[in-house]
Amino acid sequence: MKCRVRKFFSRLLLLGVLVLSISLISDILNTATAAAAIRQLEEAPGQVVYQSRETLKDQHGNRWGTIAFKRIRPDGKASFDLRLVGFPGMVEIDRTQPLLLTDSLGKTWKANDASANIFTDEIQPHVGQYDLQPLVTQLQTAIPLTLTLATINGEPVKLSIPPSLVQEWQTVANY
């Protein structure tokens, strides 16, 4: 009798663990495949912008907005940039230094500052924009990246970029 009860509870426990595992795996898969929607905006007649927006956390848990966008001008010229937006007063970006993109295999690329192209009267110290056009096709979509952003106070900001976001950036760049 005790053996049957123990067997019953063992099976019940195993069933509970299986249901919980399936639920967790389902949540992980849904989170991993959920990507920000790619937006299309018409800024002016004949000028279109495609963009991907995502919020990421740096090494200290501070939130950063990332906006990868391709702008196609009326004359047909296109650019692909990455804008990084920190919380005001939290950080001052050192625009004399390039943005470093490093994959998990140790390969590093440099993206030049393009903050002068931001359409505002005054560039904010917590906002940076970088030209990814020359290197976006070189990034591998199966390998995560780390962005390293130089700051005025000397401590760089590090952002982890999942492979799914790299793939989304390449999709935007190919529009």
Q: What is the DSSP string of 26-56?
A: HHHHHHHH--PPPEEEEEETTEEEEEEEEEE
Q: How far apart are CA 14 and CA 24, in angstroms?
A: 15
CB contact burial 126-149 (16+ within 10 A = b; e otherwise) = bbbbbbbbeebeebeeeeebebbb
* pLDDT tens digits along 73-92: 888 899 999 999 998 888 89
Question: Are residue 164 and residue 90 in the same domain, yes or no?
Answer: yes
Question: Are residue 96 and residue 13 in the same domain, yes or no?
Answer: no
| Residue whose tokens read 């199966």 | 142
Question: Domain of 73: which CATH number?
Answer: 2.60.40
Question: Are residue 16 and residue 58 in the same domain, yes or no?
Answer: no
Q: How many domains does the chain have?
A: 2
Q: With left for phi above 0 and alpha for psi between -120 and 50, is residue 46 left, alpha or beta?
A: left
Question: Are residue 25 and residue 109 in the same domain, yes or no?
Answer: no
Question: Are residue 20 and residue 87 in the same domain, yes or no?
Answer: no
- Burial grade of 50 (CB within 10 A; 0-12, 13-18, 19 or more): buried
Q: Determine what percent of the chain is predicted with pLDDT higher than 90.
A: 51
How high is the pLDDT of residue 121? 65
How high is the pLDDT of residue 6? 54
Question: Are residue 50 and residue 22 in the same domain, yes or no?
Answer: no
Q: Is the pLDDT of residue 5 over 60?
A: no
**Structural domain span for residue 139:** 39-173
Question: Are residue 7 and residue 63 in the same domain, yes or no?
Answer: no
Mean pLDDT of the 91-117 span:
91
Mean pLDDT of the 131-151 span:
92
Question: Are residue 24 and residue 50 in the same domain, yes or no?
Answer: no
Higher confidence at residue 25 or residue 4? 4
Answer whether 83's CB lies under 8 Å from 97's CB: no
How high is the pLDDT of residue 39? 87
